[in-house]
Amino acid sequence: MASTIENLAKMTENLSIEPVYNTNWCDMPEELKRECIGKMGFDERLALRFTAKTERSLVNSENFMFHDGGFYMHGNHDYIPASWCIYLTLDKENQTKKNYKNTNDGERVKSDFEFIKFIWGVGVFETFSISCDLSFMEELNYTGKITAKNVVIAEWCRID
């Protein structure tokens, strides 16, 4: 009996020497999470956005440098459901490109719009090209800024 207790005492002693790690992402303060997000690539940020609300708002608040980006709408938003696409070039050297199109799914319009707002909100573009009409912009209701060194607006674009 005594030896069992002694063994147990020894075991607990050894256990207490081994550090216990309970720290994880959720235990990190916001500022450090931001610092880590700042080091993430675009795909990782997109994935992290879909994990939870808190993570989404953190990713939404961290800028991302794009070499260039474009938003192009095809068709007239007043009369027919317009289709649109976003073109992004992540870095100039590797010319890593990403293209996103709208889903043409009425139920997903809200999430599509949210995605456009996310890209425009976090993006810091070397060149940003835009081609869409006023009614689309009104429906999108984007009130933020677009940060770009150069902006190219299509001639037919009725945006003031």
* 123-131 vs 97-101, strand pairing mode: unpaired
Q: Using CB under 8 A, which of 30, 35, 78, 91 touches another protein? A: 35
| Dihedral of alpha carbons 104, 105, 106, 110, sign | negative
Name the residue type at position 12.
T
Residue 13 engages another protein in binding (rule: CB under 8 A)? no
CB of 60 vs another protein, minimal distance in Å = 15
CB of 16 vs another protein, minimal distance in Å = 10
H or E segment to which residue 138 belongs: helix 134-140
Looking at beta carbons only, is 6 or 35 nearer to another protein?
35
H or E segment to which residue 43 belongs: helix 42-49
Q: Using CB under 8 A, which of 6, 9, 10, 44 touches another protein? A: 44
Q: Which segment (4-12, 51-59, 115-123, 142-150) binds another protein by CB under 8 A? A: 51-59
Question: In this structure, are residues 81 and 101 in contact, taking their beta carbons and an 8 Å threshold?
Answer: no
Question: In this structure, are residues 86 and 70 in contact, taking their beta carbons and an 8 Å threshold?
Answer: yes
C-alpha span between 109 and 52 (Å, rounded):
20
Looking at beta carbons only, is 72 or 115 nearer to another protein?
115
53-82 residues in contact with another protein (CB under 8 A) are 53-55
CB of 74 vs another protein, minimal distance in Å = 30
| Dihedral of alpha carbons 30, 34, 35, 41, sign | positive
Residue 93 engages another protein in binding (rule: CB under 8 A)? no
Residue 43 engages another protein in binding (rule: CB under 8 A)? yes
Residue 153 engages another protein in binding (rule: CB under 8 A)? no
